[in-house]
Structure 1
Amino acid sequence: MKSHHLALAVLICAPAWADRQSFPPVDQAGNDPSLAAFREDLLTKVAARDTEAVIAAACPDIHISHGTESGPEAFREGLTVPPETLDEEYRDQADDMRAEYWSALENTLSQPGYFDDQGEFWMPHQWRISLPATLDPFLAYFVTGDRVTLRRSPARSGAILDFISHEVVLIPDYQEGAEYQLVRLTDGTFGYMHSDFLWSMVGYRAAFVKSDAGNWQLCTFVTGD
């Protein structure tokens, strides 16, 4: 996993618990007007689902996968999802897969981001958090909202235990499609939180890199560890 910069000084999976930490979003894009303009223009192209324009904004070696091919043509395949490239049992899901990929790209590029030590711009901002080596990153999620309710039961009517803002929580058993997830805070508190406010710490992230010619490009859009 890429090195981060803000240490999460807790051992979430350890028997001894530490104080909770909050990591409020700070978007550094405005520090470079050329970067801000590039992102705004790219988001317009993504919103229009303009495949060719989006690919043209990518690096020649754009990184989109840890295990399979990367590069513009692999990126194009993710944006278009030709049914014939899928196993027969998944071909009827091509439209949904295409829509999900575009949505993930748009959502990721819309997130607050930061400049790393090499001058690359990474989104979302929580990708900057350094998780403890003892923690399985696939169990860690970032609470993306401010004052998100932590409830005693998985329902809107559940008693409110606390309000959580921009913290890392642990979800030992994430339930796909469930409205609420059972989470554990870093102080050991358990409760239920709405899935809409939980972003996997190995979820999608993206990076803009300035070329030798001085032009910003999308060089990473990837998920996983």
Structure 2
Amino acid sequence: MKYALLLAAVICGPAVADRQSFPPVDQADRDPSLVTFREALLAQVSARDIDAVVSAACPDIYLSHGGDGGPEELRSNLTLDPKALSEEQRENADALRAQYWSDLETTLSQPGYFDEEGEFWMPHQWQITLPASLDPELAFFVKGSDVSLRQRPDRNSSIISLISHEIAIIRDYQDGAEYQRVLLTDGTQGYMHADFLWPMTGHRAAFVKSDAGDWELCTFVSGD
């Protein structure tokens, strides 16, 4: 089931929308075979077992909005040959490879939900439907309980409010900044630590049960 976010004119001016909280609920335990599959796959990802992870993928696993997908593209992403990168990026190959593994492990560890077709999606906030008027690149999910919203970008700054599992809007994301200036759906503004902000266009993953009854990793993608 998708949850619609009720949002007023929060981009153009003061908002009048109620704030909504979307506490995480992991539905994986509805199917014990899914729990077993996810635990095994996470162990393989943690061990950086390339062959095992690739073998858990669908024949047509979806990995990007522009690529061909499939297990061999997944293998390429997991191994990331520096020669596949531009000369300017080759020296960053190790860091990019490590980040891909980390993103995969983090995403598969998130609470998830079953959609109407029986696919299991992670993270759980992917079921939130953003309003068409909101640029999804500006939307972030507060992935914690009682996260401090501060008056200034400083851990010693006074706390405006404690925020739990809400959508926050960041008009001007600052790469590498410890704190980001956020706008809540009721118009409240302040600064929040970046560690608690998950982009709504960030990585998500899906498990799908094959015709043979086996779970497979069929989506791992980011972007709108």
Which TM bucket (shorter chain)?
Answer: over 0.9
Secondary structure in 2 matching 1:132:
coil
Aligned partners of 1:199, 1:179: CA distance in 2, in Å? 14
TM-score between the two structures when normalised by the length of structure 2 = 0.97
Question: Structure 2 matches for 1:89-104, cutoff 5 A?
Answer: 89-104=88-103
Equivalenced residue count is: 222
| Equivalent in the alignment of 1:29 | 28
| Equivalent in the alignment of 1:180 | 179
Aligned partners of 1:6, 1:51: CA distance in 2, in Å? 35
| Equivalent in the alignment of 1:114 | 113
Q: Which runs of 5+ in 2 are unaligned?
A: none
1:168 is the counterpart of 2:142: no
- Report runs of 4+ in structure 1 exceeding 6 Å deviation: none
Aligned partners of 2:25, 2:194: CA distance in 1, in Å? 22
1:10 is the counterpart of 2:20: no
| Equivalent in the alignment of 1:61 | 60
Residue 5 of structure 1 aligns with an amino acid whose one-letter code is K
Residue 58 of structure 1 aligns with an amino acid whose one-letter code is A
Secondary structure in 2 matching 1:39:
helix
TM-score between the two structures when normalised by the length of structure 1 = 0.97
Q: Which runs of 5+ in 1 are unaligned?
A: none
Aligned partners of 1:184, 1:164: CA distance in 2, in Å? 12
| Equivalent in the alignment of 2:202 | 203
Secondary structure in 2 matching 1:89:
coil
Question: Structure 2 matches for 1:72-91, cutoff 5 A?
Answer: 72-91=71-90
State percent identity of aligned pairs.
64
After superposition, give the CA deviation of every residue in 1:182-206 in whole Å (9 maximum; x if it has no partner). 0000010110000000000000000
After superposition, give the CA deviation of every residue in 1:151-208 in whole Å (9 maximum; x if it has no partner). 0000101110000000001000011110000000001011000000000000000000
